[in-house]
Chain A
Amino acid sequence: MNEWLFLIPGFPLLGALLNGIFGEHFSPRQIGRMAATMPFLSTLVVFAVWMTHGRDPNLHEQVWTWISVGNFHANIGFHVDQVTLVMISIASFVGFLIHLFSQQYLNGDYGERRYYFYLNLFVGGMLILTMADNLLLLYLGWETVGLCSYALVAHWYRKQENAWAGRKAFVVTRIGDTALALAIFILFAEYHTLNYHTLFAAVAARPDLLALTIAGILVLIGAVAKSAQFPLHIWLPDSMAGPSTVSALIHAATMVTAGVYLCIRLYPIFAAVPGMLWVIGLSGAFTALYAASCGIAQVDIKRVLAYSTISQLGYMFLGVGIGAPSLGLFHLLVHACFKALLFMGAGVVILIYSDNHDIRQMGGLKKQQPFLRWTFLAGIFALAAVPVISASFYSKDAIIATAFIVPGGKLLWVLALLGAVFTAIYAFRLYFLVFEGPEKPGEPYQMGWGMKIPLGILAVASIGIGWLQFPPGWPGPKIWLPWLAPELGMPPAPSGDVNIFLQVACSVATLIGIAIAYKAAQWEREGRGLSRIAFLFNAWFFDRIFLRIFPPIWYAFAHILDRLIEQGGFQLMLLGGLRDGFGLGSRALEAGENGLISRYASGMILGLVVLLFIAWGYLL
């Protein structure tokens, strides 16, 4: 099995390559089919890995020596352990479902071939990122997904705003990328290796607190940017300009989870610095609350989901921060399923309402589209963490509960719980506005099997995937945590009365939220909805603040440089003046000199004279 690991990222990359080289000879339909087959093949390989090594995966494959200079070796090497196995399962399978969904969704649109190229490349990059066994290869995957995200967000580039949104996404994540690169440099300078295995061993043996703290902060910045956490979250809502399937893949299931993955992967480094984990937890909890509070006031269907993504990612970071990375990973898995589902569903809704994103102009869709309605509802259940019958009840609520019992966690618990209330609010507000209430008819839309299958599968997963790990004190399978324990350890688990209190608290929060959501939807229809709260609608005016502070600094800097270059230009003129002076002088010298041959000969002799002078100097 070890030797076939390269196929997992290999298939999508092959798809991109074939598309790029031969694509123009085929129709977009055929390209789409070929492109969708690739992640399917990857899924098959991943499935084979599950079958053969699922219980205790520890697979390695060194594909190629990439860089080998002196003591530095960075290879194209893959390593599959439990965490990676989860990530690649998501990337390949959900990726495949989204490819499948795209066949009908994007049919007839412009740029289909380009779309599939970047989509394949993206999945390949994500798989490389998660399967890499060293930080350099991870960075390669990291950059690849960043690039594809930019290309895909700006897919409909003919509209200026879309291109701008793509650039914004790229530039903001670039900040994180730079930070991550610096962190990699620091870690290498300190420990002389980028391979996880040797790196962690070196860190354990010889922890250099200063280097680790700085590197840890930089890594965190990288993760924060990639996973759209506060304060580098500003790119995500705007990147909804891309197709909904792109949002489903990139901004729900895969790329944004790369930040979480990075934190889980580099957990030993964070753990070695006292207090760092708590900072991660705080960042996560705060972001969760912040984004959820913005979500309740949004009127664009995709923006609700965007803020929802930011918020849910915050819960994952919270999980890592409180010392429960396996719970964070659990929620990552659950979130991938329901968020991709919601985005794809939202895409269909948008199509039905002729590219209108405003949920205030939607309603009563449950009559027109029953299948869509039930699958979407499943996703909403999961989003709001409805007790028992949704997957995130088992993941997100577990995180919130665990937060209570860790040192310093009470604050995080409060933030997270409030966030949960808001989450339920925006989730069900969205559902009520779009699917319930007075009917606002849209275009009739028939979803083919290519669309129904992904939605159906993800809907089932949104409900049931949580049953992998029942909370302590409940009967039912507890597979997830023990399976991950050899690698990530068991998270602290509340027990006894505290346990019951916490679970009840979370469920109550959700139910309160649903109730408020019902009212909120009504208010929205009546025109006095939450969307009128400008503070929330504009995401606490954060974007505006950013735009007011940073670009002017940059422009001022550029202006200074320009001045310098003017000075430089002036100097150049000065130098040019010197040049002219020389020209004049030489013309005087060469009064009448004409032939070039003589000039060359003179030059040679001049050189000879100089050489002889030097020789004479040596002889002295």
Chain B
Amino acid sequence: MTLELALVIAALLFLIGMALIILRRNLIFLLLGIELLFNAAMVIALAGGARWHSVTGQVLVVFMMALSGAALALTLALLLRVKQELGGDTVDDLRQLREEVDE
């Protein structure tokens, strides 16, 4: 298990997460993608901790887990509201941020 390999794994996970965010339609998949991003970051943190024999890597991971959980909880709650207010749970329904353009 080389450092490189760990970083490559993290990069690929990151890539998949990004792809999910910008390619999928259903919002749930967006959130799944965000989770994958977090996990990729955790892998990197651990790789660093292993490389430099530091406990900080694991501490970082703990915090990231907490944060991602918090973010996810909030986002899911918002997602439920979106479904209630806007009637749909896809990316296409989240259009409120646009300016008035004559398109």
Contacts and interface: CB of A to CB of B under 8 A. Distances in A.
Contacts of B45: none
Interface string B85-97: 0000001111101
Nearest to B23: A598
Interface string A586-618: 010000001111101110010010000000000
A601 B94 CA distance: 13
Interface residues of B, number: 11
A597 B97 contact: yes
B18 A595 contact: no
B47 to A, nearest CB: 17
A97 B41 CA distance: 84
A40 B51 CA distance: 86
Contacts of A601: 21-22
Contacts of A587: 103
User: Which among B21, B22, B95, B103 has the greatest number of chain A C-beta atoms within 10 A?
Assistant: B22
Contacts of A608: 18
Contact of A602 (B22, B95, B97): B22
A301 B22 CA distance: 86
A597 B18 contact: no
A410 B21 CA distance: 95
Contacts of B103: 587
Contacts of A605: 18, 21-22
A596 B21 contact: no
Q: Could you tell me the dominant secondary structure of chain A's interface residues?
A: helix
A517 B92 CA distance: 97
B98 interface: yes
Interface in B46-98: 91-95, 97-98
A595 B92 contact: yes
Nearest to B11: A612
Nearest to A594: B92
Nearest to A587: B103
B98 to A, nearest CB: 5
A596 B98 contact: yes
A587 to B, nearest CB: 8
Contacts of A596: 94-95, 97-98
A509 B22 CA distance: 99
Interface string A426-453: 0000000000000000000000000000
Contact of A594 (B21, B22, B95): B95
A484 B30 CA distance: 89
A600 B91 CA distance: 12
A595 B91 contact: yes
A517 B68 CA distance: 102
Contacts of A600: 97
A367 B92 CA distance: 98
A75 to B, nearest CB: 51
Contacts of B98: 596
A600 B96 CA distance: 13
A596 B97 CA distance: 7
Contacts of A597: 91, 94, 97
A598 B97 contact: no
A595 B96 CA distance: 9
Give the residue among A595, A597, A601, A605 with the most B Cβ atoms within 10 A.
Answer: A597
Contacts of B93: 595
A597 B22 CA distance: 9
Contacts of B22: 598, 601-602, 605
A595 B91 CA distance: 6
A595 to B, nearest CB: 4
B26 to A, nearest CB: 12
B68 to A, nearest CB: 17
Nearest to A606: B22
A591 to B, nearest CB: 12
Nearest to A597: B94
Contacts of A602: 22
B91 A598 contact: yes
A602 B18 CA distance: 9
Nearest to B21: A601
A596 B98 CA distance: 7
A595 B82 CA distance: 14
A597 B21 CA distance: 10
B94 A595 contact: yes
Interface string A41-58: 000000000000000000
The 7 nearest A-B residue pairs measured at CB: A595-B91, A596-B97, A596-B98, A597-B94, A601-B22, A601-B21, A595-B92
17 contacts: A587-B103, A594-B92, A594-B95, A595-B91, A595-B93, A595-B94, A596-B94, A596-B98, A597-B91, A597-B94, A597-B97, A598-B22, A600-B97, A601-B22, A605-B18, A605-B21, A605-B22
Given A596-B98, A598-B91, A605-B21, 4 more contacts: A587-B103, A594-B92, A598-B22, A605-B18
